[in-house]
Amino acid sequence: MNYRVVDQKTYYRSGVFRRFTEDCKCSTSMTARIDVTDLVARSKETGTKFYLNFLYLLSRTLNSRDDYKMGYLWETKELICYDAINPTQYVFHEDTETCTPVYTKYDEDYQRFYAGAFEDVERAKKTKEYGLDPINRPNWFDASYIPWISYDSLNIELPDGYLYFPPIVNWGKYREENGRLVMPVSVRLNHAIADGYLVANVFRLLQREIESFVQR
């Protein structure tokens, strides 16, 4: 886990950062539908899991900009930027209706990421333990799939004043609309390090990553 300390005085969002860490501590979230038609087709053609392919592209998207890799050190009140952030995915156990967090290390190499994520999921299927450990894994973001419904909106609430900077991303079941497959994706970021543009940009970058991936 490597990071650099960001100079809050020269930080390009310094004014916004001060406003939303001192005067108005809040988060911003957005839900939009992503076109996954070609990614679904590519996954079927290659015999790979759509879920893991999407998780890779989401992780790649969030690692493409420093804005999505920010952290906050409470002890020293320092704003930091991690070299990389990794997805915390989840395995759902049908028999107990509970989830097990799965810590998967991000790797820019698709083959290595896919193999690692697949092994992580298979290992988690063998345990019912919750095992969430955010204290020792601060540079991990929440990536949660909600496969039972194709929702229209979703909002994640955190305690008022809680300066939690890692992204929280959820996505639901894809559905057909006008001959295309679209999937709801929700992104939550702390307003101190992201505004509407940066949240919306996650969807734009993600769609671009999908398009590049299916053209390989």
d(CA 71, CA 5): 9
Angle at 60 between CA 43 and CA 200, to 5 degrees: 100
d(CA 107, CA 53): 13
Q: Measured over all CA atoms, what is the biggest interatomic distance in the chain, rounded to whole angstroms? A: 53
> For residue 177, what are its two tokens?
């609309």
| Amino acid 132: pLDDT | 84
Strands 3-6 vs 78-82: parallel, antiparallel or unpaired:
antiparallel
- DSSP annotation of 166: S
d(CA 77, CA 21): 11
Q: What is the tens place of the pLDDT at every residue in 31-81?
A: 999 999 999 999 999 999 999 999 999 999 999 999 999 999 989 999 999
Let me know: does 85 contact 140? Beta carbons within 8 Å: yes
d(CA 157, CA 159): 7
| Amino acid 151: pLDDT | 97
Contacts of 42 (CB under 8 A, 6+ apart): 53, 213, 214
Let me know: does 106 contact 90? Beta carbons within 8 Å: no
Distances (CA, A) of 121 to 11, 101, 125, 166: 38, 9, 6, 22
Q: What is the pTM of this model?
A: 0.96
Q: What is the tens place of the pLDDT at every residue in 148-189?
A: 999 999 998 877 668 999 999 999 999 999 999 999 999 999
Let me know: does 28 contact 165? Beta carbons within 8 Å: no
d(CA 11, CA 51): 36
Arithmetic mean of pLDDT, 13-24: 94
Going along the chain from its start, the domains and CATH numbers come out as: 3-214 (3.30.559.10)
